[in-house]
């Protein structure tokens, strides 16, 4: 099966590609080359959602490719840990060293002391869960629970709907009501925005549930600036109201759901009044929201990841996703919900990995600081970081950095650029970006699968993930003759167990893109149904009920204290993708405060401040934001050390506590104080 498109002609000046970075939109791209170098990148229409335009970040990709922070060759540490001093070595020497250190541990029966650390740097199928999984599973390394993002929402969506694909983003134009719930597409998935605007133009209403007044919140019919972490009670109050006022769809409930009475019982304590008080919004606004939702058809809820990053995150997402089932909103184009569409495909990474079973101990990535300190999860002697920048992105940053600074920890960082994490490495390996290698990737918003060929020669001596892990398999002696190795073989293996594998391969080879269930996109409860055991919505799935402290839909109260009264949010910005491309953003970044909170602390615009709690502190400038409600502070996610005065970021203030479901991160449970310096 030829799943990759034919090799592009080297003389062409504009070549097709697709973006596999951690974003819902999965843009189809065209790269303009001059003398073999990328000089410009634009969007195409291969993925219809891209509609010919892309974000400002990826437009700057040539600077990322050729800039001074690009890692061009393998390096080995010469100076003190964390100082970023290295000497150039050959691939041969670097790989020999890494393989030898791995073998030593395996030969001593201590394979579990190897911890692979990988997240969303490249969402492509060829660069994670493929040859990397083959290497680490066969070495008997520890497994990483990838929980930093989407774990609570994933658990909820799996439990209630078996991860049924949701409303296609372009179908939002059809909705008479759009609810953007804890999501900020103006920044973190820009191709939804025109469809929201189109719906508004056609008379549809917009409700935004977000503690901050985002760009779309400012243009909404109703903005509910709820206090962070209170989504659960707002959603439960809506559920209670829908049942109580006769807006529940009894026919749908009996045909397509289980345990609706139990859901109703659990929502019972949450009157609109009580929820409004807890969420700190006017009860009249909640009433308006409830009525709008009940009476609008089609109604679409775009649930984002802002909802999940707190102690109540999993139950909150579950309650939000329950709403369309209670109110009978499915069955029409533009009706239902969208969470993640990542499981729109039945592709099997295990076939590409060639990993039969991998049952070693599991380490939660959100607890990396404690793990490296030896306080939980068992000893780790070798850390292999790829597709991730944990020094900047994992909660409780001070502990993570202390762990990375351990002299007895052997750390490999494999990345296209010299990240803050790479500065702590013993060995730095240069990775190609997605423009310099083949890839197969799917959107988790846009329902599209794309495969791409390299459009550039690798910069310096950089190599693709699958090649480096393949080489390490050979050098550690775990490679097998039947392993798929090349990009073509891996792509074919991925599709080999898919029901539609042949058709997908044909579409990819012909168009570079494939669409699940065809184009136009599937409608919930017409073309797609829950992938639960009985194809019903499970309102109170047993496994979630057991996992959540106090049971599913149990509300855990506000964690603020008199010493740390401000809720710190660290939302996505339009300048980076998580921390990817952060080397291009050199300026100082400040903390935003409501004018009232700034005033109460004698803080003026531009003052040097320290934002602190019991875990750490960030020294930066303050910025008054008149649209921010009192009680909040904002310091964006994805910063690098160079963006603040003391090199610390919002993750230094984020607790490594876990959400109620999926062991997810609780970034937005950070509570802080701010003080003028
Ligand atoms: N430009 C850009 N795009 C990105 C990313 C990026 O960093 N930059 N990151 C990518 C990744 S990894 C992800 S996961 C997605 C994230 O995509 P989004 O979910 O859109 O992004 P976030 O900024 O995490 O959160 C969205 C909103 O939730 C709000 N929020 C915070 N706490 C709460 C709460 O308790 N309740 C409610 N209702 N809202 C809350 C924030 O104010 C924020 O405006 O975007 C992806 N796309
Ligand atoms: N304070 C705070 N922190 C947060 C969040 C928050 O809300 N608040 N949100 C979190 C979220 S949503 C997420 S998803 C995580 C993301 O955290 P990470 O997964 O650590 O994401 P990035 O910081 O983008 O790091 C990805 C790295 O992969 C590299 N990379 C890209 N392509 C390749 C490749 O092909 N091969 C290799 N080897 N490397 C490659 C990039 O250069 C980059 O350095 O951050 C979390 N951090
Ligand atoms: Mo994320």
Look up the CATH number of the domain holding residue 224. 3.40.228.10
Higher pLDDT, 79 or 426: 426
Whether 419 lines ligand 2, by a CB cut-off of 6 Å, is yes
Query: What atom in ligand 1 is closest to the CA of residue 228?
Result: 35
449-468: string of b/e by CB count within 10 Å (b at 16+)? bbbbbbbbebbebbbbbbbb
∠ CA(25), CA(27), CA(29), 5° rounding? 170
How confident is the model over 122-131, as pLDDT tens digits?
A: 889 999 999 9
- Around ion ligand 3, which residues have CB less than 5 A away? 149
579 CB under 6 A from ligand 2? Answer: yes
In a domain, 312, yes or no: yes
369 in a domain, yes or no?
yes
Residues sharing a CB contact under 8 Å with residue 510, sequence separation 6 or more, in sequence order: none
CA distances, 327 to each of 252, 277, 298, 321, 389 (Å): 9, 24, 11, 11, 42
214 with 291, same domain? yes
Domain shared by 576 and 595, yes or no = yes
Q: Which helix (H) or strand (E) holds 429?
A: strand 427-430
Instruction: Let me know whether 38 and 98 are in one domain.
Output: no
For residues 236 and 330, membership in a common domain is answered with yes
Verify that 369 and 472 share a domain, yes or no: yes
Nearest ligand 2 atom, CA 580 = 24
Q: Taking CB atoms and a 6 Å cutoff, what residues make up the pocket around ligand 1?
A: 22-23, 120, 149, 181-184, 187-189, 209-212, 214, 226, 228-229, 231, 304-307, 310, 569, 571-574, 576-578, 637-638, 668
Q: Which residues pair with 254 in a beta bridge?
A: none
Pocket test for ligand 1, best of 150, 303, 304 (most atoms within 8 A of CB): 304
Look up the pTM and report it. Answer: 0.97
Q: How far is the CA of 671 from the centre of ligand 3 (A)?
A: 21
Q: In this model, does residue 12 exceed pLDDT 70?
A: no
Q: Please tell me if the CB atom of residue 342 comes closer than 6 angstroms to any atom of ligand 2.
A: no
- The CA 182 to ligand 1 mean position distance, Å, reads 7
Digit-coded pLDDT (tens) for 119-160 = 998 889 999 999 999 999 999 999 999 999 999 999 999 999
Residue 6 lies in a domain: no
Could you tell which of 23, 146, 150, 182 is best to mutate to test the pocket of ligand 1, judged by most ligand atoms within 8 Å of the CB?
A: 182
Domain count of the chain?
Answer: 4
325 is a domain residue: yes
Question: Residue 56 sits in a domain of what CATH number?
Answer: 2.20.25.90
Q: Based on the domain organization, do 143 and 174 belong to the same domain?
A: no
Q: Are 245 and 237 in contact (CB under 8 A)?
A: no
Give a yes or no: residue 62 inside a domain.
Answer: yes
Give the domain extent around 650.
Answer: 566-676
Q: pLDDT band for position 2 (50/70/90)? A: low
**Are 350 and 479 part of one and the same domain?**
yes
Question: Domain check: are 365 and 490 in the same one?
Answer: yes
For 156, the enclosing helix (H) or strand (E) is helix 151-161
Q: Which ligand is nearest to the CA of 570?
A: 2
183 and 316 both lie in a single domain:
yes
Task: Name the band, by pLDDT with cuts 50, 70 and 90, for residue 354.
Answer: confident
Residues 188 and 307 in one domain: yes
Residues 316 and 555: their CA atoms lie apart, in Å, by 9
Whether residue 492 lies inside any domain: the answer is: yes
Residue 615 Cβ inside 6 Å of ligand 2? The answer reads no
- What span, in angstroms and rounded, lies between the C-alpha atoms of 59 and 63? 9
Q: What is the CATH number of the domain that holds 646?
A: 2.40.40.20
The reply to whether 374 falls in a domain is yes
Q: Collapse the DSSP code of 299 into the 3-class scheme (helix H, G, I; strand E, B; otherwise coil) and give the result.
A: strand
Q: Residue 561: inside a domain, yes or no?
A: no
Whether residues 311 and 359 fall in one domain? no
* Residues in Cβ contact with 546 at an 8 Å cutoff, skipping those fewer than 6 apart: none
Q: Is the CB of 153 under 6 A from ligand 2?
A: no
Angle (CA) 637 169 247, round 5°: 100
**Is residue 444 in contact with ligand 2, taking CB distance under 6 Å?**
no
Residue range 191-235, pLDDT digits in tens: 999 999 999 999 999 999 999 999 999 999 999 999 999 999 999
Among 489, 514, 539, the domain-final residue is: 514
In this structure, the answer to whether residues 208 and 244 fall within a common structural domain is: yes
Residue nearest to atom 5 of ligand 1 (CA): 577
Phi, psi of 412 (to 5 degrees): -110, 130
With contact defined as beta carbons under 8 Å apart, do 179 and 336 qualify? no
**Average per-residue pLDDT in the chain?**
96
User: Whose C-alpha lies nearest to ligand 2, atom 31?
Assistant: 121
């Amino acid at each position: 099966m030829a799943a990759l498109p034919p090799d592009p002609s080297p003389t062409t000046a504009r070549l097709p590609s697709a973006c596999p970075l951690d974003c819902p939109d999965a843009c189809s791209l065209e790269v303009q080359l001059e003398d073999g170098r990328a000089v410009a990148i634009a969007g195409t229409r291969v993925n219809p959602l891209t509609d010919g335009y892309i974000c400002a970040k990826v437009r700057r990709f040539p600077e990322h490719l050729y800039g001074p922070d690009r890692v061009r060759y393998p390096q080995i540490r010469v100076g003190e840990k964390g100082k970023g001093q290295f000497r150039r070595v050959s691939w041969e020497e670097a790989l020999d060293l890494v393989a030898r250190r791995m073998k030593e541990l395996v030969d001593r029966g201590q394979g579990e002391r190897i911890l692979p650390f990988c997240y969303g740097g490249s969402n492509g199928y060829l660069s994670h869960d493929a040859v990397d999984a083959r290497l680490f599973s066969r070495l008997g390394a520890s497994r990483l629970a990838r929980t930093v993002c989407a774990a609570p929402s994933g658990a909820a969506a799996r439990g209630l709907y078996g991860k049924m694909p949701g409303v296609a983003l372009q179908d939002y134009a059809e909705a008479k009501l759009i609810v953007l719930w804890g999501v900020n597409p103006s920044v973190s998935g820009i191709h939804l925005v025109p469809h929201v605007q189109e719906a508004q133009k056609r008379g549809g209403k917009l409700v935004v549930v977000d503690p901050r007044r985002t760009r779309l919140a400012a243009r909404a019919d109703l903005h509910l600036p709820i206090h962070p972490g209170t989504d659960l009670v707002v959603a439960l109050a809506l559920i209670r109201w829908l049942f109580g006022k006769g807006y529940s769809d009894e026919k749908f409930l009996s045909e397509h759901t289980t345990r609706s009475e139990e859901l109703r019982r659990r929502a019972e304590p949450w009157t609109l009044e009580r929820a409004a008080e807890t969420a700190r919004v006017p009860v009249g606004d909640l009433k308006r929201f409830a009525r709008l939702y009940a009476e609008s058809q089609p109604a679409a809820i775009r649930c984002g990841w802002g909802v999940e990053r707190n102690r109540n995150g999993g139950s909150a997402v579950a309650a939000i996703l329950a709403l369309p089932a209670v109110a009978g909103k499915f069955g029409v184009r533009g009706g239902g919900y969208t969470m993640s569409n990542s499981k729109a495909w039945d592709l099997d990474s295990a076939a590409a990995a060639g990993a039969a079973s991998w049952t070693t101990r599991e380490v939660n990535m959100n607890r990396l600081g404690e793990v490296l300190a030896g306080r939980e999860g068992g000893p780790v002697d070798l850390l292999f970081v790829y597709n991730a920048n944990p020094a900047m992105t994992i909660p409780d940053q001070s502990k993570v950095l202390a762990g990375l600074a351990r002299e007895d920890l052997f750390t490999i960082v494999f990345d296209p650029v010299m990240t803050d994490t790479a500065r702590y490495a013993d060995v730095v390996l240069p990775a190609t970006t997605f423009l310099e290698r083949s890839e197969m990737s799917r959107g988790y918003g846009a329902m599209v699968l794309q495969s791409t060929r390299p459009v550039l020669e690798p910069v310096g001596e950089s190599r693709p993930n699958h090649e480096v892990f393949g080489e390490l398999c050979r050098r550690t002696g775990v490679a097998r003759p039947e392993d798929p190795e090349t990009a073509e073989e891996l792509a074919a293996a991925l599709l080999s167990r898919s029901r539609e594998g042949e058709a997908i391969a044909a579409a990819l080879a012909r168009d570079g893109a494939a669409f699940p269930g065809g184009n136009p996109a599937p409608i919930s409860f017409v073309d797609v149904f829950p992938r639960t055991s009985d194809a019903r919505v499970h309102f109170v799935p047993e496994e979630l009920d057991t996992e959540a402290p106090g049971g599913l839909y149990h509300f855990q109260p506000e964690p603020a204290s008199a010493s740390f009264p401000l809720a710190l949010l660290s939302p996505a910005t339009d300048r980076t993708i998580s921390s990817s491309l952060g080397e291009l953003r050199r300026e100082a970044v400040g903390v935003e405060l409501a004018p009232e909170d700034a005033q109460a602390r004698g803080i003026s615009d531009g003052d040097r401040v320290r934002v602190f709690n019991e875990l750490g502190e960030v020294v930066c400038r303050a910025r008054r934001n008149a649209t921010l409600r009192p009680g909040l502070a904002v310091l964006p996610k994805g910063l690098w050390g160079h963006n603040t005065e003391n090199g610390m970021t919002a993750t230094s203030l984020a607790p490594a506590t876990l959400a109620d479901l999926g062991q997810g991160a609780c970034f937005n449970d950070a509570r802080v104080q701010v003080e003028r310096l």
